[in-house]
Amino acid sequence: MSDSATAPAGDEQDLLAAEYVFGLLCADERSVVERDAARDPALAAAIAAWERWLLPLTRLVPPIPPPAALWPRIEASLAAAAREQPAAAPPPPTQPPPAPPPAPPVARPVRRWQVAAAAGYALAASLAAFAWLRPPPPPPVATALAPLPAHSPVFVAELLPHGGLLVRPSGAVHVPTGRDLQLWLLAAGATRPVSLGVLPPAGVRLPPGSLPPDASGAKILVSLEPRGGSPTGLPTGPVIGGGSL
């Protein structure tokens, strides 16, 4: 990552954005930049500027026809994700597209297929290239681990008198096949959460000592991860709920 010895402070953000776009950062550093940029419009704009400036360089690489099997594979992945989506699930709230679609009216099953693709494929680069996107709606702040989408699990976290933490469901919990929920602690002022382990749908009781002595102002977050939990030590899937202690 950049040091500040040779560049004015105003350049540091642009340098960080450039290092991110070029791919000079390690995986952990990339995750930090993505999280920061999701909250910092100036950093996101700097990343977007580099992406656009450098686009012509990508055209120097000759195109190669992809394998014929690739498109059927993409179609199959989306169809498989659609089958995993519960039939009763309504489409999530989405913003309208920027221009009226000239295609025929959208059939609801198609939209559900699209939504299921989102649920079934939480990609590692889920925040990547966010600078071109509208920001998602802000998450609610609550002591409970409040859900973002309507069908996310709902949990309540309680600090126990002896110092432990009880996290229990307050409603029906559905975890997609092949996925696990994971619990995280984000200390006040920290930028990187610490894992508190996989969160079973039935809840979990963490023993004393699982939290730092002074957890006031910390946030408890729940993310959707691959089976067994995040492979990176940081959230890789969407954060589906959270609240402050």
Return the number of the residue (54 or 190) whose C-beta is nearest other proteins.
54
| Closest separation in Å from C-beta 119 to other proteins | 9
* Residue span 45-74 as binding mask against other proteins, x where in contact by CB under 8 A, dash where not: ---x-xxxxxxxxxxxxxxxxxxx-xxxxx
For residue 64, give both structure tokens.
């190669």
Residue 4 touching other proteins (CB under 8 A): no
Taking the CA atoms of 55, 60, 61 and 62 in sequence, report the sign of the dihedral they define: positive
| Closest separation in Å from C-beta 172 to other proteins | 25
- Residues 113-152 binding other proteins (CB under 8 A) are 113-114, 117-118, 121, 123-126, 128-129, 131-134, 136
- Residues 153-192 binding other proteins (CB under 8 A) are none
Phi, psi dihedrals of residue 199, rounded to the nearest 5°:
-105, 105
Cβ atoms of 198 and 226 closer than 8 Å: no
Return the number of the residue (94 or 216) whose C-beta is nearest other proteins.
94
* Residue in 218, 235, 217 with CA at minimum distance from that of residue 226: 235
Place of tokens 């993409």: 74
Return the number of the residue (128 or 188) whose C-beta is nearest other proteins.
128
197: left (phi over 0), alpha (psi -120 to 50) or beta: left
